[in-house]
Structure 1
Amino acid sequence: MTTVSSPATPETHPSPLQALRTLRADGRLAERWPDVAPLLAELASTGAETDLRRAGSVLSQVDRAQVLAARPETETAVVAVTGHSTLGSLGAPLAAEFGRHGLLVETRLSDFDAYQRDLRDTGSPVYAADVDLALCVLDPQLLLDELGSPWQAEDLADAARRKLAELERLAAGFTEHSGAALVLNTVPLPRAVTHQLVDHESRAHAGVAWREFNSGLLRLALAHPRVHVIDLDPLVAAGTPLNDPRMAAYAKAALGDDLLARYAREVAHVARMLRGRTKKVLVVDADNTLWDGVLGDDGPDGIAAATTFRGEAFGTFQRLVRQLGSQGVLLAVSSKNDHDNVVQVLREHPDMVLREADFARVNANWQPKDANLQDIARRLNLGVDSFVFVDDSPFECGLVAGSLPQVAVVRLDDEPALHVEKLLADGWFDTPRLTAEDRARAAQYRTEAERAGLLESAGSQEEYLSRLGVRVTLAPATAGDIDRVAQLSLRTNQFNLTTVRLQAADVAERLADDSHLVLVVRSADRFGDNGVVGVVFAQRDGEELRVDNMLLSCRVFARGIEQTAVAALLAHARATGATRVTASYRPTKKNKNVREFWPSQGFTTTHTADDEVRFRHHLDDLPAVPDHVHLDSALEGSTR
């Protein structure tokens, strides 16, 4: 008798939510905290919003102290929450959304309807020194509670003006007394409000008043650098319900769980942005991502990004990619195709919105895509943690997510009409403000190919630098430099000697303080102007000039720019009566290459610890400006 064995059961892997629950049940969640972000990223990529909230509930039970004891390098955030209605369900989505970005969040929820007291009283929890973000969650009832019964459109307009003036005062007071960011939100207009008015004229007046209230809130973000306003209207327009009427009536939950979950995602984007973790590079696949079809199988005539229904959707996606590129996002292609064929399509195909010149790098070959991303990173001199990778292949997305977890992976499917929504879902490229350097970044990176050609033709590094014609300008920062200086402080990781992050408001405060010196470093060469590429923060204390930090863009490494800036700074210090200059280095995972920078400039080590090394220069023997650099400095004591 022959026994027929049953087929082997395929190996099954636990879902991300199951994996998190198992880690918690086994007591290993603290020690395995680095695994949390990839698990949540996988969960978010499936669109399982309910499971993401459940994962947040698991994370809400994590002991913060245990995580920090097991993983002291863990990045943390403290979020204070106040508002007008019931907000208890906000904690879980905040834990999940912050966890997606590797942040261990502590959420401190205030009492019901306590926002006025909390924002007025500088001793309240929202003013605690360790708070990073203070959320003041606004809802429609904020205005409706101001109305009598019955009411008219004019009453609503009066209430909106009063409430806006109150919020303006509260925001101004908060920014004056706290270093944290204040997060407000616009308030969606419920149909149940406008349709209490039976005449269309009154409805129009009410709609205008409500929208002017929201416009005033948005203007607060323009007036105060520490205020951020999340616009809830786009979330409601995307189909997220304002609330559950039953919960609004019985539990005073004026904003529903779904909307609060989407709001939490936007808050996490703000937190990520404020920590300088904005992505810089968008790497896109080609086949069935940039265009409909497979170039190798269908040929150039068989692919489309226009002229067909599906092709039009791909064309819309290309316009989005180009729009992002116009705002400083570097674009690159990683495609399993023959290079010449892809380049020919980008140059000549009539459907293409994007052209070869739009991309800083086109990697079309048959290498694994994780290796391709690493190659692009090397050629752009950027870390892969600044990359967003977009592909329609589950295999390629899984490969990159598994081998390069620092890369943000956007998984597309076979519905091109959803490509735009998927790419924009997480605001990977959000930045407080665009600068002139942002808009010129793509062109600046394209000139790197010309510099590389000069380097290859030169007989030595010295000949290359001599022929490059480096020019450095060093000058005190002005009000017009604030946004760019803050951007460098937030986003520079490799040449960042202390990694002290400064927002625009912090930079403005230093500019207004005569004891502080904020110097901007500009560079140019024979191939063009690089703009503001570096910053020096220093502070005068009697005969000592203390360098608080120095930053330099990775685009201009190894050209003598940093040595030139230090030589000019030291000469200025001696010329203005200083007897010593002190500086420090605080190690991170990304700035190890500049550990010996200060000693290389003649500084001696005065203190060494795991978290900080301190240095001193006595100004008796000053370093010279490199021979190949032309220095134009407005500082006293500069000789070149």
Structure 2
Amino acid sequence: MTKGLDRLRDLRAQGLLEKAYDEVPRLLAGETGEPEVGGLELRTAGRLLAGVDPAAVLAHRPATPVITVAVTGSCTVGPVRDPLTAELARHGMLARTVTGDHGAWLRDLTDPAGALRAADPEFTLCLLDAGAVFAEVPVPWRPEDVEEAAGRLVDRLAAIAADWPGTLVLNTLPLERRYTHQLVDHASRARLGALWRDANARLLRLVESSPRVVVIDLDPLLGGAVPVADPRLAQYAAVNLGAELLAGYAREVAHLVRSLRGRTRKCLVLDLDNTLWDGILAEDGPEGVAASGSLRGEAFHTFQRVVKQLAAQGVLLAVNSKNDAAAVREVLTGHPDLLLREDDFAAVRANWAPKDANLREIADELGLAPDACVFADDTPAERAQVRHGAPDVALVALGADPALHTTALLADGWFDTPALTDEDRARAGRYRGERRRRELRAGTGSYEEFLTGLDTRVDLGPPRAHEFPRLAQLTQRTNQFNLTGLRLREDELRAYAADPAHRLLLAARTADRFGDHGLTGALLGRYHESAGVLELENMWLSCRVLARAIEQACLAALLAAARDDGLNAVEARWLPTPRNHRARGFYPSCGFEDVTPPNRDPAAGERRYRHDLTRLPAMPDHVRVDPPVLERTGHRDG
């Protein structure tokens, strides 16, 4: 029995589970990054956590994210609740689940007065199995009958998706042998397989037309030799999706929730010896390490290919290794086996300092918080030190066999994101520009001289058609300068931009002498015409351009535009989150008056501000802003 489960039982027995909920992620993840509670043991952990009172947790830990999840499906779906509860807890989130009636997925999703809609879930899981199709085919049946039934099912799901208020999570339908082999001729089996894959392809393409739909492809889980179901449980209890499959599905859902809640990691930090190459550099020398030429060497080469693939999609790479810097540089620049080179890494720490200290320095150098980093290392003692000294860093436990490195790296989907943008793909190049900025900083006297030397320019205006995916990503990923914690989807942002009479949505695009930062900030507001007030609902600014007065410049430009437009005031609010405490004084620093009502609940921490536009803040000298034009048309309500 694992220590993590024992500790969970002890906390529950003592009535302390709610108070100590912040311990749960560590208990489930383990001290060295190897899961303390893994596989189907998560069901046990989930049962222990299912009785947790969310209100009691929030009373002790008010910053804990609570996720309301509704679950329905064409079969018995109750068994997904425990692993899902545990998977969300493993990532520091608290599940509040609502389960629909057995097999009543269509009614659950279409009844406007039903229990699922009444719960107002943030995520709705509709678990479907092959029975959702075969229940509607005649006996005897032909492949063409299945094709028609599958088409009707996908059409129903498309109609539901178009109207569902939250995120709707669907899945591809596994086709089991008990269905295919009811056909005795191979030609009919081939026909059934082809049309079944066509139906699943239509399901997967729903995400293209319905931005609030996510379809989890079960094929990668089944490809890992996970059985679809136990035939006895399927027959007698309608458990058509088995425990192992549901555990893997729950993990994928947790990764999805994490990414939509802005918890996607941004930087992969790698050890070198027996992680990126075979051998120990300090003992074997540059000529003694390898990443090809042998079975083990080729495994390291494969791992490097995977790492490079992640980097091409915007994952920043860094090195954290106990080695001499000169020797590491020699290998990274000239070793013939290496696919990854020095320029592929945004930061390199090769020294004999503790790795937790190096990780904190890497995060600081890249303008990230430690909880944006993932550290992969093959030494348990090093990972344990990082867990203790930099607990917010996610750990990937690499074992002695490099053939398993890729599986370990990808297991937790740390870098999963709702959508990939051009900004993501260009991120590595931008951080190379950041290295040149650091060189400029090192060569100038004061910080003010450095900022002046940057020649920063900001284009502030309505978002362009192709920018909405990046804009949604910015709201979902930004934590430090997200003044209310608000996160928005692409369809919501498009709706706001389409209503300039009532809503204000501006995108900030930033560049300097070293290159284009891309879309780095946004402002969202609402007009109250009767009062002549613009209510600034939120501001976001990417952490990579913080501390350069860009946020002050954007707000100063907005205030000037509001006064020119004849408005009387701009109002705003700050709502504390676990990560935005440094922005608490932002509005007062720009001349806003604190107008928080005295009877406001102090536990909520919300502050309200107002600027009367009589004395505008000065534009920072070192930032040039193309000022926005407030395009208000038509009738505006109050």
- Structure-2-length-normalised TM-score: 0.95
Q: How far apart in 2 are the matches of 1:138 and 1:434?
A: 27
Aligned residue for 2:581? 592
Partner of residue 27, structure 2: 39
Give the 5 Å matches for 1:79-118. 79-118=69-108
Unaligned runs of 5+ in 2: 632-638
Query: Match of 1:545?
Result: 534
- The residue aligned with 1:345 is 331
Q: Distance between the aligned counterparts of 1:217 and 1:350, measured in 2?
A: 45
1:158-307 equivalences under 5 Å are 158-174=148-164, 178=165, 180-307=166-293
Q: 1:519 aligns with which of 506, 517, 542?
A: 506
Shift of 1:34: 0.5
Identify the residue that residue 415 of structure 1 maps to in structure 2. Answer: 401
Q: Deviations over 1:497-543 (max 9, x none)?
A: 11111122221221122311110111111111111111011111110
* Alignment partner of 1:403 is 2:389: yes
Q: Equivalents in 1 of 2:238, 2:2: separation in Å? A: 38
Instruction: Tell me the distance in 1 between the aligned counterparts of 2:459 and 2:250.
Output: 43
The corresponding residue for 1:500 is: 486
Distance (whole Å) between structure 1 residues aligned to residue 43 and residue 34 of structure 2: 10
Q: Say if 2:590 is the partner of 1:601.
A: yes
Equivalent residue letter for 1:630:
R
Give the Å deviation of 1:589.
3.1
Tell me, what secondary structure is at the counterpart of 1:49?
Answer: coil
Match in the other structure for 2:563: 574
Are the equivalent residues in 1 in contact too, given 2:85–2:95 (CA < 8 A)?
yes
Contact 2:558 2:627 in 1 (8 A): no
Q: Confirm or deny: 8 A CA contact 2:34 2:397 kept in the other structure.
A: no
Query: Secondary structure, in 3 states, of the residue corresponding to 1:627?
Result: coil
SS at match of 1:21: helix
In the TM superposition, what whole-angstrom CA distance separates every residue of 1:589-608 from its partner, at most 9, and x where no partner exists? 32222221111211111116
Paired amino acid for 1:615 = Y
Aligned to 2:635: none
Could you tell me which residue of structure 2 aligns to residue 319 of structure 1?
305
Alignment deviations for residues 299-346 of structure 1 (CA, whole Å, 9 cap, x no partner):
122211111100101111111111111111110011111111111111
Cα distance change of structure 1 residues 151 and 172 upon mapping to structure 2, 3 Å threshold: same
**TM-score, length of structure 1 as denominator length:** 0.94
Within 2, Cα distance between the matches of 1:334 and 1:146?
57
1:623 match: 617
CA contact (8 A) 1:80 1:125 kept: no
Of residues 439, 448, 451 in structure 2, which corresponds to 1:465? 451
Q: Number of matched residues?
A: 621
Query: Which residue of 2 is the match for residue 52 of structure 1?
Result: 42
Asked if the contact 2:63–2:578 (Cα under 8 Å) also holds between the matched residues in 1, the reply is no
Which residue identity lines up with residue 567 of structure 1 in the other structure? A
The residue aligned with 2:147 is 157
Deviations 1:534-583 (A, max 9, x none): 10111111100111111111111232321221121111111112011111
* Cα distance in structure 2, aligned partners of 1:224 and 1:323: 28
- Structure 2 letter corresponding to 1:61: G
> Cα gap change, 1:129/1:50 in structure 2, threshold over 3 Å: closer, same or farther?
closer
How far is the alpha carbon of 1:634 from its aligned partner?
4.4
Q: CA deviation at 1:636?
A: 5.7
CA–CA separation in structure 1 for the residues paired with 2:516 and 2:23 = 43
Partners in 1 of 2:630 and 2:204 — Cα distance?
Answer: 43
Displacement, 1:65?
A: 2.9
Greater CA deviation, 394-403 or 420-429?
394-403
CA drift at 1:170: 1.9
Cα separation, partners in 2 of 1:459 and 1:44, compared to 1, 3 Å: closer
Instruction: Say which SS state the counterpart of residue 495 (structure 1) adopts.
Output: coil
* Structure 2: distance between partners of 1:67 and 1:313: 45
Matched, 1:139 2:126: no
Shift of 1:226: 0.8
Structure 1 runs of 4+ aligned residues shifted over 6 Å read none
Distance, in Å, in 2 between the alignment partners of 1:132 and 1:407 is 27
- 2-structure distance, mates of 1:540, 1:365: 55
Post-superposition CA distance 1:207-256 (Å, at most 9, x none): 11111111111111121111111100110011111000110111111100
Distance across 1 between alignment mates of 2:320 and 2:454: 31
Gaps of 5+ in 1: 1-12
Q: Distance in 1 between matches of 2:552 and 2:63?
A: 31
Partner of 1:554: 543
Shift of 1:399: 1.6
CA drift of 1:425 comes to 0.8
Question: 1:120·1:173 contact (CA, 8 Å) conserved in 2?
Answer: no
CA positional deviation for 1:470: 1.1
1:173 match: secondary structure: coil
| Pairwise CA RMSD | 1.6
1:613 aligned partner = 607
Letter in 2 for 1:626: P
For residue 72 of structure 1, report the CA deviation from its aligned partner: 2.6
* Inter-CA distance 14–136: structure 2 relative to 1 (3 Å threshold): closer
CA distance in 1 between counterparts of 2:393 and 2:422 reads 26
Give the distance between the partners of 1:53 and 1:242, measured in 2 at CA: 17
The alignment status of 1:488 with 2:474, answered yes or no, reads: yes
Q: Give me the whole-angstrom Cα distance separating, in 2, the residues matched to 1:383 and 1:100.
A: 19
- Between stretches 48-57 and 312-321, larger displacement belongs to 48-57
Deviation at 1:48?
3.2
